[in-house]
Amino acid sequence: MRSSTLTARHQNRKSPPRHRGRVGNGEAPLDQSSTFEDDEVFQMISENAYYRAERRGFQAGEEVADWLAAEREVRSQLASASG
């Protein structure tokens, strides 16, 4: 029963966006010694923002807030992981 529910949910789920553009937010870029490339960090932020939007039912009007919160979270995780 549970696996059929999960399968149905996956069939209805939209894929996370795969954008390659840039969003300027005034933050300093990651330093060159970073383990992750800029495109990888952008993808991590994009996916995080997508899942935030999904959790709130994709209601319009909060896209920027989702992106900024995702960016803060990803950058914080990367900073704490790099020591």
DSSP letters along 5-38, please?
A: HHHHHHHHPPPPP--------SPPPPPTT-SS-H
| Mean pLDDT along residues 9-18 | 51
What lies within 8 Å, CB to CB, of 79 at 6+ separation is: none
In terms of pTM, does the model score above 0.85?
Answer: no
Percent of the chain with pLDDT over 70: 58
Closest by CA to 64, choosing from 75, 53, 78, 76, is 53
Read off the pLDDT of residues 42-72 as tens digits, 9 standing for 90 and up: 999 999 999 999 999 999 999 999 999 999 9
Domain boundaries, the chain: 34-83
Over the chain, what is the mean pLDDT? 75
